[in-house]
Amino acid sequence: MPSRALDGLRKLAGALASPLVPEDYLDLFDPLRSGADLRGRVVSVTHETPDAVTTTIRPGKGWRGHVPGQYIRIGVDIDGVRHWRAYSLTSRTHPADGLITITTKAIPEGKVSNHLVAGLLTPGTLVHLDQATGDFTLPTPAPARTLFITAGSGITPVMGMLRNRLGDLADVVHLHISPTAAASLFLTERQSYAVGSPSAASGPQAGPTAYRLLERHDDTDGFTDLTRDLDALVPDWRERQAWVCGPTGLLDAAELLWATAGLTEALHVERFRPTIIEGGEGGEITFLRSDISVDADGTTPILDAGEDAGILMPSGCRMGICFGCVVTLREGAVRDLRTGELTIAEPGDDLTIQTCINAVAGTCDIDL
């Protein structure tokens, strides 16, 4: 169709749907159609270990695929409230069935992870998605010698790589650390990749790969400290391109090791929980677009603090009823002065808050 005719149609559809957009009506029929906001439908949820599940999702037609090692943001409605989290994709990149999978381990106080692990996200539920993103990926061509170091749920992006690229990798050492054998994700599958295992010769990953699995369990092997143990476990680690994913302590140790060896270029890390935001009493408020920061105590409404700092704050009733002062909280924590309730925004959450009845609780970044 010529583009002018298409433009005309678009204009007409817009005029017919105003003040909504045509999408709002099309969503009634097919929320997964191409051109819609990216969404997905849950197909199944299966347990990997007692505290981890793999969720299989059929993404909408707008899904553009992913590179192994990348993650997606997924928005799940829990008790009516939308929560966004990022999880690594563990599925194959061009699956025949068009499905994607993420694997989630329950973390203490984790709203979404516990919801998933408890089986409360039922098949058929619509979830909200973002396109895959992240640069924790393998290059092409693949490096000659590879080292993966993973701990806990840090295995998930690497599992995406192994499932898709194992055949390309000539020489792999994989050090995986977990509290117990029972809690170790995908253990059986990884063991089957290992050199000499009965299925390695005939399995789908059959190829020139030498995959050596170093499985460390805290309960039997004691705590694994990279600084102390890596030389013994992987004597040739300096000659390998390394991908490391796990808790902050592990990543910090790896970065220090590689930096000391002058090999920073060979290290790739994924911080899957980059910041831990905890609510405090008062703190620093940053108005991002104005580039102004102020310190405020735990009883000062953000609205007052902003106005004192000369920010053009939207405002209204100043008592929490009119929603005229709502702004976007990009990151940080605020506390409701009426109820003491804490609202925490992780990066990417972009929550809206009323500034007249919220005070900073730790730090907060406001989009103003």
Partner 1 sequence: MTLAPERPLLSPTEPHHVGAVHAAAAHHDGSTRIRNATPAAQRPAYKKSGRPNPAAHLTPEQIEELGRELDAIQREVMDSRNAADAAYIRRIIQVQRSLELGSRAVLLFSGVKVKGIRPAWWLGTAGLSLAKILENMEIGHNVLHGQWDWMRDPKIHSQRWEWDFVSPSKQWQHTHNQVHHTYTNVLGRDNDLGYGILRVDPDQRWSLFFLFQPLWHIGNALMFEYSIAAYDLELGGYVARRKRMSAEEKAAFRAKAAETLAKVKAQATKDYLAHPAMALPFGGPSNAWHTLTANIVANLVRNVWANTVIICGHFPQGIETFDNTDIDTETRGEWYLRQMLGSGNISGSKLMHIMTGNLSHQIEHHLWPDMPSNRYAEVAPKVKALMAKYDLPYIEGPLLKQAGSVYAKVVRYSLPNKVEGRRRRDIIRLAAKKAWRSRSFGRFA
The residues of the shown chain that bind partner 1, judged by CB under 8 A, are: 6, 9-10, 12-26, 28, 34-35, 37, 77-83, 285, 289-297, 299-301, 304-305, 308-312, 314, 316-324, 326, 337-339, 351-352, 354, 356-357, 368
Distance CA 334, CA 361 (A): 5
β pairing state of 39-49 and 52-59? antiparallel
Smallest distance from partner 1 to CB 355, Å: 11
- Cβ nearer to partner 1, comparing 257 with 368: 368
Could you tell me which of 180, 136, 181 has the C-alpha nearest to residue 160? 136
Q: Is 148 exposed, middle or buried (0-12, 13-18, 19+ CB in 10 A)?
A: buried
Smallest distance from partner 1 to CB 287, Å: 9
Smallest distance from partner 1 to CB 42, Å: 15
- Cβ nearer to partner 1, comparing 21 with 181: 21
Q: Is the peptide bond before 2 cis (omega within 30 degrees of 0)?
A: no
- Cβ nearer to partner 1, comparing 77 with 171: 77
- Cβ nearer to partner 1, comparing 95 with 324: 324
Distance CA 224, CA 49 (A): 21
CB neighbours (10 Å) of residue 10?
11
Could you tell me the two tokens for 252?
Answer: 């910090």
Smallest distance from partner 1 to CB 275, Å: 19
- Cβ nearer to partner 1, comparing 117 with 285: 285
Smallest distance from partner 1 to CB 336, Å: 10
CA distances from 116 to 122, 125, 161, 333, 362 (A): 9, 12, 23, 24, 29
